Homo-oligomer: A and B are copies of this chain.
């Protein structure tokens, strides 16, 4: 998977130039070049004409960057372990159904672990796995940025006028 690269950067540049009339060489800024390298790593190996279902990154991200999933993971990063109803309290506004769905998917994808204790009434504890801890760190970098910049965005938005929501 690492070695196979059916769609190299030079090939991409070709396509960009010939089929789309875009000259990649206009990328001069260092920062942009670094960014392009990273993007190349992610997009370079795929043909942009292939069905998006074949892109595992899209797939995985759609779970991990889901609004509810993010909140669940963040709160589980905050508290070491949480039970279903506690979690529901923190992830304010989530319904039983959605919470339970997300928890199942997040468990399946390896972010969280679920421990059920055979008591009466039953007790279930959710916590982050090693992998989930790993992810929450990445996520925090993003949410930190969001926390920092959301005022700007809100300001922009109202300056721009009242357009659609999402």
Contacts and interface: CB of A to CB of B under 8 A. Distances in A.
Contacts of A93: 51-52
A42 B75 CA distance: 11
A79 to B, nearest CB: 6
Nearest to A35: B77
B59 A109 contact: no
Main secondary structure, interface of A, reads: helix
A41 interface: yes
A105 B58 contact: no
A160 B109 CA distance: 8
B157 A61 contact: no
A121 interface: no
Interface of A: 1, 16, 20, 22, 24, 26-27, 31-32, 35-36, 38-43, 48-52, 56-67, 70-71, 74-75, 77-80, 82, 86, 89-90, 92-93, 101, 104-105, 107-110, 131, 133-147, 149-154, 156-157, 160-161, 163-164, 166
Given A35-B133, A109-B157, A131-B152, 17 more contacts: A1-B151, A22-B82, A27-B80, A35-B140, A49-B92, A56-B154, A57-B150, A58-B67, A60-B150, A61-B146, A66-B166, A110-B157, A138-B141, A138-B142, A138-B145, A139-B142, A141-B142
| 7 closest A-B pairs by CB | A110-B156, A108-B160, A60-B150, A39-B78, A56-B150, A52-B93, A65-B65
